[in-house]
Structure 1
Amino acid sequence: MQNNQRDELSQRLRALREAVGEDVAITAKATGITTELYEKYESGESDIPISFLSAIATHFGVNVNALLTGSDARARVFSVTRAGRGPVVERRAQYHYEALAAGFAGKPMEPYRVTVEPGRADIVLNTHSGQELNVVLSGTLLVRVDGHDTILNKGDAIYYDSSRPHGMQALNDKPAVFIAVITS
């Protein structure tokens, strides 16, 4: 995540928490992280993962894209996102998320176009509420869910309980691009 984007997101987190008058420790506990880690997110010291954004959006009853963009979605019938024009969040150096329905209000799911760059030897695992569908558009992707590894190629899909530890890794020294649809 770029520093200015992380700073803006951190400011939105703080403003939201302060607007409801909630203590840092309460927010951290409600989202399943330590107070210290929450403070790093809110101060901009640490990249903020999508799993945390999903948890805090659920906790405060807001849309994830409102956190990402700073504005509420308005569309209720349909929303078009042109290629490469969706709001972007970069969780880690290897992950690039593009929101595909940021303009649609009241979504029960969040769709993203995700690019995973090669080069990381370990798989960082995440958990969040809900379920997730991943459909590979290009490249080869190793998906680990609850200790089980599955290799996916172009056109392959996997659906899983995202409360289980899961993570991805691009294989063959090439980026992997996939659509992720996340429910909460």
Structure 2
Amino acid sequence: MSAPEGSIRDMLAANLKRARARRGLSLSELSRRSRIGKATLSQLESGTGNPTIETVFSLSRALEMPISGLLDTRPADGPTVVRAADVEVLSGDAVDLRPLRRFELGEGGFEVYDQQVREGARQNSLGHVGTEHTIVQAGRLAVEVDGERIELGPGDYVGFDASRPHAYTALGGPVRSVLLLHYRAGVRPADGEAHPVLGPHA
């Protein structure tokens, strides 16, 4: 069954090819940087692969660009309403993300996601560009950043440099939360030459 027009799969295929071409990277070099196999990258660029959270975050880290630069989440002019049922889910080992909006703030930008963490699994990230902000709405969430463990309940917030290795684990049941990714000036989806100033990447 083919993906619908405008699906995450289609948007990632087009944006990944464009980003790789801007940087003059071969599939082999991008494979080395992202730790994703060449065959998988080829499938993603052709629109036949099945992207996961882990894949997209690895590409974001390797290409030094925001997640929205790969998923093409561009806000419309004027008021924007996003219905949960209309947003395609990007799933990983333990997390389901629904991209809701990207907006500019001064010289930087934010991406807003509805984030659900499933019970019984751990979502690991080697790191990616941006500063990560999570606000728990329901459930209890364990967040580990460079080995430091923090437990959060409803209404609690944590923020950290997303280039550092981190992990999310739901405690005692599923977790509903809001994820905000903040990008500093110069880190924009359309800017193929920009590099974040967040320190080294894994």
The correspondence for 1:47, drawn from 52, 56, 59, is 52
Gaps spanning 5+ residues in structure 1: where? none
Query: 1:134/1:26 Cα in 2 relative to 1: closer, same or farther (>3 Å)?
Result: same
TM-score (norm 1): 0.72
Aligned to 1:117: 118
Measure the CA separation in 2 of the matches of 1:179 and 1:7: 23
Q: Deviations over 1:117-165 (max 9, x none)?
A: 1122x45233012211100011111111110111100000001111111
Aligned to 1:176: 175
What is the aligned length? 170
Q: Secondary structure at the match of 1:163?
A: coil
- Using the aligned pairs only, state the percent identity: 21
Aligned to 1:89: 89
Larger strand proportion, structure 1 or 2? 2
Q: Which structure carries more relative contact order (alpha carbon 8 Å, separation 6+)?
A: 2
Contact 1:137 1:179 in 2 (8 A): yes
Aligned to 1:23: 26
Aligned to 2:188: none
Gaps spanning 5+ residues in structure 2: where? 44-48, 184-202
TM-score (norm 2): 0.66
Query: 1:6/1:93 Cα in 2 relative to 1: closer, same or farther (>3 Å)?
Result: farther
Contact 1:86 1:99 in 2 (8 A): no
Contact 1:98 1:113 in 2 (8 A): yes
Contact 1:110 1:181 in 2 (8 A): yes
Q: Which letter maps to 1:168?
A: Y
Q: Which letter maps to 1:183?
A: H
Q: Which letter maps to 2:139?
A: G
Query: 1:15/1:114 Cα in 2 relative to 1: closer, same or farther (>3 Å)?
Result: same
Aligned to 1:67: 70
Contact 1:81 1:100 in 2 (8 A): no
Q: Secondary structure at the match of 2:155?
A: coil
Q: Which letter maps to 1:161?
A: D
Contact 1:55 1:128 in 2 (8 A): yes
Query: 1:110/1:54 Cα in 2 relative to 1: closer, same or farther (>3 Å)?
Result: farther
Q: Which letter maps to 1:181?
A: L
Aligned to 1:129: 129
Q: Which letter maps to 1:126?
A: L
Aligned to 1:8: 10
Q: Secondary structure at the match of 1:139?
A: strand
Q: Secondary structure at the match of 1:127?
A: coil
Q: Deviations over 1:54-113 (max 9, x none)?
A: 346745xxx6446325x75443xx5523341563332325311111215x4786121111
